Amino acid sequence: MSLEVEIVPCLKDNYAYLVSDAEKTLCAVVDPSEAAPVTVALKGRALTHILNTHHHGDHTGGNLALKARYGAIVVGPAKDRDRIAGIDIGVDEAGWRFGPYAVRILEVPGHTRGAITFVTEGRAFTGDTLFSLGCGRMFEGTAETMWASLEKLMGLPDATLIYCGHEYTENNGRFALTLEPGNDALRTRTAEVAALRARARPSVPSTMAMEKATNPFLRPNSPEIRKKLAMDGESEAAVFAEIRARKDHF
């Protein structure tokens, strides 16, 4: 992989990401909720692009200040460009190029109507659609819409690194264990996450293989989960909807 990714903690539990080439001639920030931590992390480098996965303020709050300071180009979902602060380029599944790097755009509505995921060089920046061991709330979509978006993400190669928008993994893991306590991979993962968080280390990135093996929102076909929910024979979308409803009140 020729692009480098640096995690930038923001606000209480947000993550922004600096994505740069080896020569540092290209440098993008994904989902800057605030400008100050990004400016510190840049260490004098120029910021060329700002990439937004969706319109929420805790993912776009730093756009205007960073754009004013660095002249960065703001890239976000074309279908939601009226709600992306400072947007210059609206993108869709036709894709986009970050200098010489091809960037695949996946439209993944559900959390918001215009949510997208940026995929490049074996990495997926999923915003609030897919979390490590979790998924976002459905503020602007139905369970069927959100499940279709998650299925789309599950089509990515297993080795894809998943960079999500928040450090929610520990709580997500506690919830996951209420549904699938017999999942050995999940128990191992939650122990690893607890150890990382005890040292104030990020739990991200995850991998798509790990999410498919442990994330209950990607596992509506799990016999253990279906038995726990008394939903044998129900559709995947229906089981997903029940999992999401339970997490909303966890």
Q: Which residues are catalytic?
A: 54, 56, 58-59, 111, 128, 166
Nearest Cα neighbor of 59 from 79, 47, 76, 39 is 76
Contact (Cβ atoms closer than 8 angstroms) between residue 68 and residue 49: no
The H or E element that residue 71 is part of is none
Phi-psi region of 125 (alpha: psi -120 to 50; beta: other; left: phi over 0): beta
Q: Which tokens sit at 191?
A: 């122990």
Q: In the chain, at which residue ranges do the beta strands (DSSP E only) sit?
A: 3-10, 14-21, 27-30, 49-51, 73-77, 89-91, 96-98, 101-107, 116-120, 123-127, 130-131, 134-135, 161-164, 206-207
Contact (Cβ atoms closer than 8 angstroms) between residue 6 and residue 43: no
